[in-house]
Copies of this chain bind each other. A is one copy, B any other.
């Protein structure tokens, strides 16, 4: 039901989100989110945030605390109808705390097409089970 150009545009929007996250780039994050009171964000283990000002503030705090952050999406799946779409994917975070390992979270990201452009309108991320995190590898491609 989703043509390949549309699917690719949504995957690029999703990849841009992870690039902004990896680079702790608040300007890029501001550019890709819709600035509305209806947008929502659930960081892993956080309460639900609603509205762009609260979400922007959360990214500012996260970027200030953690700086650039080795995260890449994998196994992204697109579901789109009209001007609304969601992408689910794994978020692969390289950790060097003890030994080199990849930790994974699972995310549901929502996008709305406004003026031909897919803007992020929601992000919900939560930890993947440790057994999955330890056994899975990622390719580093956008899908």
Residues of A within 8 A of B (CB): 38, 40, 42, 44-48, 50, 77, 79-86, 88, 90, 106, 108, 110, 112, 121-122, 124, 126-129, 132
Contacts and interface: CB of A to CB of B under 8 A. Distances in A.
Contacts of A122: 79, 86, 88, 108
15 contacts: A38-B77, A40-B77, A40-B108, A42-B106, A46-B129, A48-B90, A48-B106, A79-B122, A81-B83, A82-B82, A86-B86, A88-B124, A108-B124, A126-B126, A126-B127
Q: How many copies does the complex hold?
A: 2
Contacts of A38: 77, 79
A46 to B, nearest CB: 6
